[in-house]
Amino acid sequence: MTKRLAYQRSVDQTYQAFDTTAQGLSAAVATQRLDQHGRNALNQQKKTSLLQRFISQFKDFMIIVLLVAALVAGLTGEVVDAVIILLVVLLNAVFGVFQEAKAEEAINALKEMAAPNATVRRDGQVMTVKSDELVVGDVVLLEAGDVVPADLRLVEVAGLKVEESALTGESIPVEKTSETLATADLGIGDRTNLAFMNSNVTYGRAVGVVVATGMQTEVGRIAGMLEAADETTTPLQANLTQLGKALTILILIIAAIVFGLGLWRGTANVIDMLLTAISLAVAAIPEGLPAIVTITLALGTQRMAKRHALVRKLPAVETLGSTDIIASDKTGTLTQNKMTVEQVYQNGQLSPAGEPAMAPDDPLARVMILSNDTQRLADGTLAGDPTETALVQYQLDRDFPVDQTLSDLPRVAEIPFDSERKLMTTIHPLADGRYLVAVKGAPDELLKRVTQVDLAGQVTPLTATARQHVLDVNHQLATQAIRVLAFAYRIVATVPDQPTTENTEQALTFAGLVGMIDPERPEVAQAVAEAQEAGIRPIMITGDHRDTAAAIATRLGIIDAGETQAVLTGAELDAMDDRTFQRQVTQYAVYARVAPEHKVRIVNAWQKQGKVVAMTGDGVNDAPALKAADIGIGMGITGTEVAKGASDMVLADDNFATIVVAVEEGRKVFANIQKAIQYLLSANLGEVLTLFMMTMLGWQILAPVHILWINLVTDTLPAIALGIEPLEQNLMKRPPRGRQSNFFSGGVLGGIIYQGLLEGLLTLGVYWFAITYPVHASASLAHADALTMAFATLGIIQLFHAFNSKSIHGSLFKIGIWRNKFFNWAILIAFLLLAVTILVPGLNGLFHVTHLDAYQWGIVALAGILMVVIVEIVKFFQRRVLSRVNTR
């Protein structure tokens, strides 16, 4: 018998299948099985050393290209360039290691959740053993407060309730039974005669037979899924890899063409043409791009941390911005993971929970408090079953004298809850010598024992009409995903020696109904609406039943009222093959009664649709899907260490609305990186075009030192400043760019090409003008001035163009020229660094440039102004075209 079918065996068959008895295994057999099958522990994940993490940072294709460029520059004597490139690469590696060094290890966190000890019966004796020494066939004893040490088939149950939310997603503890379950393929949440490793016993007692240990348990299966899951490549990583490859091919082609044509024309020797080709390569490579991307992401993580979103991996910031789907766990993420009284039915009226407090002698209030095992701890918090604590908390919030009631009416007898009769009864002495019997339980079962009803202190017989009205109210609340408990009481003269349902739970007086729910977080509905406005589709995934899931999803706005076809259960999902589900996945927005493997299938199906999926969750059962998603989002407060360890980002406040904030930040980060890329590559294209055409025309070309200095002053501070541009208007009202988009989407590639050509043509135009209309009669001085003006123009144009790059399509004058103070200082500093090479004596000799007069500086400035004017005109017509396309 396999573990999956353990729930289908009877108690006797269980003992037989696992070769054990009610007296437990013998010590000898337990030792033999431990040696044969190994310890009851999860596999530990191999740790990654700091050195390994550091080395892994250099596997990126773009980084390899830069390392090769640094090597070539160093071998040809361009030491400064080589050092700059290496510093950029090292900075990128340090940032990556710093972020990833904080990562918790998910599988080790799973192990830490395990119970340290277990109470077992061996050789007929009850003893305590280490939980990792448990073996299949061991008989384990459970009681309230225990952590289940292995997967158990329960053989004896006394009111057992087990909290399994971390594994199944259900917020309410599960009532367990020892009965055989004949139905095949039951989901984890429906296997009520099994107790699962690492779940928590909240109520009652039980005896169970170990049917699986270690990696064979349900939580072990999750650990195995985590081990087998591949790391997802983020859109940012994919885009940078594509960009690196494209640049490498471009560089090689251009360098080869220039080198070949130069030799063919015979205007220069091999060494000169080799240096020219290297200059072109230096001009083409955006050396600062990895650092700019890293710094932009790092600054994004800092801003997100201030808003309670803690990023564990830098690329996750940008990935959020491309999110199409947010697949969210319900319990603890969309809801508060605590039961709360929402409706009260009393005296024939249904009222919201906010109604005034009940009187101290109110029968419903008394039964709510007395028929209850909640404990008040020293710090004032409540401990116990969430349903029962919700009843007490409701009265405490309304200043009901809870402690006084418990003191005045102590419990003298009880009939504990059991899953067969679905009732709990306690008995308390009254001041007049009689006794109060307080009963709570399932409405349908309790009403079978009710003969009277209390209406504002008047006790009258319960008519068939009144009984049906109570049942109708119960049904009304149940369809709203509200858990309903019924309350009744009875006054008796004496207490039976052995209270039973026959001699005590009869002829009851109905006191009322209380409806409870795990309420949605108050900010979630607004966050869902904002996500939908941003073109993001929220998906809810839960272990709760279909009706509960549909009701919560409707209240949150994830689905419309009555949209039941959008709800899919785990059993229905099992009946679909992957191809069918992938084709139909867009029809569903809510998934109920799901298992961990279902969550992974849901994530994978959306990914195969080409969507970028973010998965939120807090439980152990969420970990595989969190790892499989493009970005896993764990809960920082209620989340297990397993969920946090499998996540790319953790919400410090467990606030679903923080996800929308993070998406906004992610979109801003991508938009700013895109601006920086357009700025850098258009500038580099302008440099390549300038060098290429000067070579082809036989003009004196800019030296490598000129290109290097221009790259240093224009590719660093201005580009970094573009990375921290404020959020553009309406960015969160645009649809997600999706998985297929890249840094060249949205007109960026066209912008790079025409803007690069424009920069090159303006620089060549200034050089031609200076040669054709020289200030000096001497040919050598004229050429020197022309080269200096080309050098100044190429740098100044790029600084002017940085203003154009503040928005891909938006007008500079609407965005605001002076909004980003850091940008303004960056442009000023870059201009001064460029100017000193021409103006400061000694430096101009080092850079092989001459002094320029006011006339010459005016021509250079005019070229820079023309760059802004022409690009603004082009963007104006682009906006007109986009507006027409969007209105169609």
pLDDT digits (tens, 9 = 90+) for 120-141: 999 888 898 888 889 999 999 9
Q: Which residues of 322-359 are buried (b: 16+ CB within 10 A; e: fewer)?
A: bbbbbbbbbbbbbbbbbbbbbbbbbeeeeeebeeeebe
- Pair (255, 211) in one structural domain: no
Of 492, 517, 542, at which residue does a domain stop?
517
The answer as to whether 112 is a domain residue is no
Quick check: 108 pLDDT over 50?
A: no
- Pair (709, 830) in one structural domain: yes
The answer as to whether 71 is a domain residue is yes
pLDDT at 463: 93
Quick check: 473 pLDDT over 70?
A: yes
- Pair (76, 198) in one structural domain: no
Lowest mean pLDDT among 129-138, 491-500, 842-851: 842-851
pLDDT at 63: 64
pLDDT confidence bin for 109, thresholds 50/70/90: very low
Tokens for 868? 């802004």
The answer as to whether 242 is a domain residue is yes
Of 228, 255, 275, at which residue does a domain stop?
228
- Pair (247, 213) in one structural domain: no
- Pair (21, 57) in one structural domain: no
- Pair (370, 421) in one structural domain: yes
- Told to judge if 408 belongs to the known catalytic residues of this protein, a careful annotator would answer no
Q: For position 253, which CATH number holds?
A: 1.20.1110.10
Q: For position 648, which CATH number holds?
A: 3.40.50.1000
Q: In the chain, how many H helices and how many E strands?
A: 33, 26
pLDDT confidence bin for 796, thresholds 50/70/90: very high
- Pair (211, 76) in one structural domain: no
pLDDT at 594: 84
pTM of the model: 0.66
- 139: three-class secondary structure by DSSP: strand
- Pair (511, 587) in one structural domain: no
**What strands lie across the sheet with 590-592, from one edge to the other?**
309-311, 649-651, 631-635, 613-617, 325-329, 537-541, 590-592, 567-569
* Section 188-214 average pLDDT: 86
- Pair (480, 498) in one structural domain: yes
Quick check: 646 pLDDT over 90?
A: no
pLDDT at 80: 61
Query: Any alpha helices (H) in 412-558, and if so which ranges?
Result: 443-447, 464-478, 524-533, 546-556
> What total of structural domains would you count in the chain?
5
* Section 461-490 average pLDDT: 91
- Pair (286, 324) in one structural domain: no
The answer as to whether 149 is a domain residue is yes
Return the half-sphere exposure (C-beta side, CA atoms, 13 A cut-off) of residue 462: 23
Q: Which domain holds residue 135?
A: 3-45+117-228
The winner for highest mean pLDDT among 171-175, 202-206, 571-575, 778-782 is 571-575
pLDDT single digits (tens) 266-294:
656 666 666 667 666 666 767 667 667 77
The answer as to whether 233 is a domain residue is no
Quick check: 59 pLDDT over 70?
A: no
pLDDT at 886: 57
pLDDT at 801: 93
- Pair (467, 555) in one structural domain: no
Of 59, 75, 107, at which residue does a domain stop?
107
pLDDT at 418: 79
- Pair (410, 457) in one structural domain: yes
Torsion sign over Cα 30, 31, 36, 41: positive
pLDDT single digits (tens) 683-707:
888 888 888 888 778 787 777 678 7
The answer as to whether 843 is a domain residue is yes
Q: For position 206, which CATH number holds?
A: 2.70.150.10
Name the residue among 433, 6, 554, 92 with its Cα closest to residue 296: 92
State percent of the chain over pLDDT 70.
Answer: 83
Which residue out of 60, 138, 146, 329 is catalytically annotated?
Answer: 329
| Alpha-carbon distance values, 32 to 25, 99, 139, 350 (Å) | 11, 46, 16, 62
The answer as to whether 531 is a domain residue is yes
The answer as to whether 434 is a domain residue is yes
pLDDT single digits (tens) 149-158:
899 999 998 8
- Return the amino acid letter for 369: I
